[in-house]
Amino acid sequence: MSEATTADMVLDVKNLQTVFFTNSGLFRAVDDVSFSVRRGETLAIVGESGCGKSVSALSIMRLVPDPPGRIVGGSVMLEGTDLLKLDDAAMRDIRGNRISMIFQEPMTSLNPVMRIGDQIIEAVRLHQNVSSKEAWKQAVDMLRLVRIPEPERRAHEYPHQLSGGMRQRAMIAMALACRPALLIADEPTTALDVTIQAQILALIVDLQKRLGTGLILITHDLGVVAQTAQRVIVMYAGKKVEEATVEALFETPLHPYTRGLMASMPAVIALGAKTDERLTEIPGMVPSLTKLPPGCAFAPRCKLAVDRCRQEYPPLGEVKSNHWAACWRAGELAEAS
């Protein structure tokens, strides 16, 4: 890795392993996953519910509930510091300061009995040596930055007085108040209607570019990925099964699971087109992570699976330049495309 590349690197996750100890056995939620994020870059993590996307984010933030969860392997380097080696006090200094997270539902993340401005002030004063007056000014400035109208008035209001879109903007203001090096957005628009979703995504990307923040966008929506990300990793059953630039992934998906996700996306219906065509679905269910089948975890649902797929797990290999896939047949798919 070149010196310039190293200087650009905000986050470097290597061989991350997070497990949950349950009554039904050991649950490998994140199994040997590696990825990196550069300054100003957006990395999307996609996959079905239960594939390990959100647990990967919670592992980076050191917010995995222990018990029953535990990070048992790997490293999480944030600007050269291994977060997994820090004690709780040092991690609290970094969380909300150098690394922040926007959660799915702002009403469960905002304190209902605190004014919006006070909640942003709390984040600022925890990590910066500023007066109450200066912190309040910063809070109002952040609300203005996320395009909340009348920010001075809104800073005095409580979460229930804001609309869903306004609350999510307030959450973004809190997350960015200390100008973090890395922002994690976990399904940040799930609870919002479509028009507000587009506004919030555009806002996050605009602020990220303006502030030079690295962004991890966790989503199941490939349409969102196409609009916002530069690189994407696809996860299935706790493992990374494909990684590529967004352009390469959409042009030539090399894992059958990625192809299934793309085929299940609803297309925009053109004027006069048939409207009774069914969406393609991936057959079967995501396997239980306590009872994974031998070989590739996707094999029971895969139309391309051969005997080897059911017996040996394929290694993640670079099939094309900067395009990795964990599939015994990825080379064939690359040649056929």
Residue spans of the chain under pLDDT 50: 1-4, 268-271
pLDDT given at position 275: 55
The rounded distance, in Å, linking the Cα atoms of 52 and 5 is 28
Q: What are the sequence ranges of the domains in the chain?
A: 6-98+180-270+281-336
pLDDT given at position 89: 94
For the four alpha carbons of 157, 159, 162 and 168, in that order, the dihedral sign comes to positive
Helix axes 132-145, 164-176, angle to 10 degrees: 130
pLDDT given at position 276: 59
The rounded distance, in Å, linking the Cα atoms of 59 and 258 is 24
pLDDT given at position 5: 55
- Residues contacting residue 312 through CB under 8 Å, at least 6 positions apart: 295, 296, 328
pTM: 0.90
The CATH architecture annotation of domain 6-98+180-270+281-336 reads 3-Layer(aba) Sandwich (3.40)
DSSP string, 74-99: EEEEETTEEGGGS-HHHHHHHBTTTE
Amino acid at 34: S
The two structure tokens encoding residue 308: 């080897």
pLDDT given at position 277: 61
